[in-house]
Amino acid sequence: MHKHLASYSPDTAKPSMKTVVAVCHGVMVLSETMGSDGKSIIHECDTTALPGRSEQVAFWGTRAFLGDYYKTYGAGSDNVETSVKRCLDNPDKQFVVVDEMYNYISARFPPDAKLLAEKTIALVQSSMV
């Protein structure tokens, strides 16, 4: 998957018709995919991810009966938000984010999915014109 994303990602630079969309933990797959420059393929992108506080509440609230289920890499690992922000040039933008340089949209978690879908449709339609 990382190899495919690394080769596909440069082709999403605007005004391309190719698009990448990620929500919640999916952003972490992109943040951990390295491009030919050795940096994350989204290091230049404005992006968001699952907020650390949300992940911690879910993890600690369910740990007694689900174990490490809500931690991507298990207890003691960084949360998704911290992991993603670490690889970005500008980690300050959040929520549903449409990048300015690439056809890339990200959202924090499933409740953002409707807005994410609407923005994705608008982006794809605008790139077809």
Give tens-digit pLDDT for 53-94. Answer: 888 888 788 888 888 777 667 777 787 778 878 877 876 655
Top-confidence residue, 92 or 19: 19
Please report which confidence band the pLDDT of residue 2 belongs to, taking 50, 70 and 90 as the band edges.
very high
pLDDT at 90: 74
β-pairing, 20-23 with 97-98?
unpaired
Which superfamily is assigned to 2-127 in CATH?
Class I glutamine amidotransferase (GATase) domain (3.40.50.880)
pLDDT of residue 93: 56
Measured CA to CA, the distance from residue 116 to residue 47 in angstroms comes to 12
**Domain range list for the chain:** 2-127
pLDDT value, residue 94:
54
Q: Helix, strand, or coil here: 16?
A: coil
Residues 128/117, Cβ–Cβ less than 8 Å: no
Q: Which residues contact 81 (CB under 8 A, 6 or more apart)?
A: 49, 50, 51, 52, 55
Quick one: pLDDT at residue 40? 95
